[in-house]
Structure 1
Amino acid sequence: RRALPRHIVSAGSALVFATTLAVISTVVLVLWVNWLSAALSLGANAFYVLVYTIILKRRTTQNIVWGGLAGCFPALIGWTAVTNELAWTPVVLFMVVFFWTPPHTWALALRYREDYANVDVPMLPVVKPASEVGRQIVLYSWVMVATTLLLWPVADTGWFYPLCAVVLGGVFLVEAHKMWGRAKNTETLSLIKPMRLFHTSNLYLSLLFVAVALDPLLTR
């Protein structure tokens, strides 16, 4: 029911609108922030359109794994907007979002796998059984939580962030394992309940980055 598939907006108009946004946003970053942030932002846009949408999306189940890199760039852009340089801290945050993206997106794709199948997008839940999707989600979830803990020594945080990372990571892992357990026994979405993990993933990442922001205020 989106505007573009329903022909409420033409493909040409969408292209003009999207290109205009990309140009204006780049100019804003160049004039009022810095060239590095502008370059990263433009690179993220180009990667999402050219690599993910055009090349990967309809060709491989790894589409959102590598295509999801575009969604990781805000961690770098936000850092460089303030410091005008890159460092290991935003790179770790970049990797947290990278490993978070597959569990987050595959849970949603499991709920809407028929929609993806109808338009020939080979999302993992379209070509693999729910049990395999659950297994992959659990694997990425463990790597994600391990990566969040890596920020502790890299950024030399206080006690607040690692405490939150452990608690939030534990909750996420429990939900991921529970969904995998349900998926081992059925293909029925109402019993697998993938949206529970999807909503958990949104809350998880939000609270984790709040913890990143609050840590220096509470422990320094």
Structure 2
Amino acid sequence: MTDINAFEQPNEAGFGDYVALLKPRVMSLVVFTAFVGILAAPVSVHPVVALAGILFIALGAGASGALNMWWDADIDAVMRRTMKRPVPSGRVQPGEALGLGLALSGIAVVMLGLATNMLAAGLLAFTIFFYAVVYSMWLKRSTPQNIVIGGAAGAFPPMIGWAVATGSVSIESAFMFALIFMWTPPHFWALALFMKEDYSNAGVPMLTVTHGRKSTRKHVLVYTLLLVPVAIGGAFTGIGGPIYLTTAVFLNAIFLRGAWQIWRRDETQAEADNYAVEKKVFRFSLYYLFLHFGAILAEAALKPYGIGGW
């Protein structure tokens, strides 16, 4: 009689596991913001060049994700949010993740340079290095400011997209960088407030672990207050306009209200409703960034018709 267990291979990697190594949800944000960076630039880009730029930026983002999963496999294994990832679950071997990450890094940087320009390729190479080495290997495990400084890694894609189109860096691309950079801390700290035990168990010095939730709540409010003028101020750059200004004012009013509510709450209130406010603010923060960049995209799309821009 055939043993049916002989056909079960729970630890064998499938195609989906290798896709998961590339962090597709993070990649979607990278692709979208890089796409906006290309289209918002004041020059026309050949569709083939733009498509190649997006493809290789996406590969670079995926490479960063694979390298991060290789390095963080030990802490991913003890966090509920990450323990089912391909490497800690045993479906993908660490060496495979490392090899894939390095290979994709090389392909992405070289091909982006050949397809577009060396500035864009250099920025992509620095982004991969910053995320994989500076953030993952150093900052994440050594300082509660990990997500503040490390947020730069996620802020580079629109700047790279702008460089793909123009071959340069400008005030507009610096604004898009600053928007993501300032958004990252309150976004992640809202998550950390209801995921504190995960970071504590993994030994990651997230602000909630090192300074407590009360201090983290104050930081969420302070960084949101710093974010608001940056976000609204972008309306008065070359990629802004009335559509962006209206969107930014509306979204920042809601986000600031959420940060204020988080700051006013104590742990008794939060535990009583299972961190409902914190979870709501975290979810809204995702829409917040996509809608800001959507407004930039709308300004760029309507500008030829005399509608977008000032």
TM-score above 0.5: yes
C-alpha spacing 1:155/1:51, structure 2 compared with 1 (3 Å): same
C-alpha spacing 1:187/1:20, structure 2 compared with 1 (3 Å): same
**3-state secondary structure, aligned to 2:154:** helix
- Per the normalisation by structure 1, the TM-score is 0.93
Contact 1:182/1:191 (CA < 8 Å) preserved in 2?
Answer: no
1:219 and 2:282 correspond: no
Partner Cα distance (1:140, 1:189) in 2: 26
Gaps of 5+ in 2: 1-83
1:126 and 2:209 correspond: yes
C-alpha spacing 1:211/1:156, structure 2 compared with 1 (3 Å): closer
Partner Cα distance (1:156, 1:96) in 2: 13
1:82 and 2:171 correspond: no
Letter in 2 for 1:130: R
1:107 and 2:190 correspond: yes
Contact 2:224/2:256 (CA < 8 Å) preserved in 1?
Answer: yes
1:119 is displaced (CA, Å) by: 1.2
Partner Cα distance (1:202, 1:158) in 2: 22
1:182 is displaced (CA, Å) by: 2.2
Partner Cα distance (2:120, 2:279) in 1: 34
Letter in 1 for 2:91: I
1:185 is displaced (CA, Å) by: 5.0
CA deviations on 1:94-121 (whole Å, 9 max, x unpaired) are 1111110001111112222111111100
CA-based RMSD = 1.7
CA deviations on 1:119-160 (whole Å, 9 max, x unpaired) are 100111122232221110111111111101222233263211
Partner Cα distance (2:138, 2:170) in 1: 30
Counting aligned pairs with the same residue, the percent is: 35
Match of 2:250 in 1: 167
C-alpha spacing 1:189/1:147, structure 2 compared with 1 (3 Å): farther
Match of 1:9 in 2: 92
1:202 and 2:286 correspond: yes
> How many matched pairs?
220
CA deviations on 1:29-56 (whole Å, 9 max, x unpaired) are 1121211111101100001111111111
Identify the match of residue 179 of structure 1 among 239, 262, 269.
262
Gaps of 5+ in 1: none
**3-state secondary structure, aligned to 1:152:** helix
**3-state secondary structure, aligned to 1:219:** coil
Match of 2:111 in 1: 28
C-alpha spacing 1:122/1:113, structure 2 compared with 1 (3 Å): same
Runs of 4+ in 1 over 6 A off after TM superposition: none
Contact 2:194/2:275 (CA < 8 Å) preserved in 1?
Answer: no
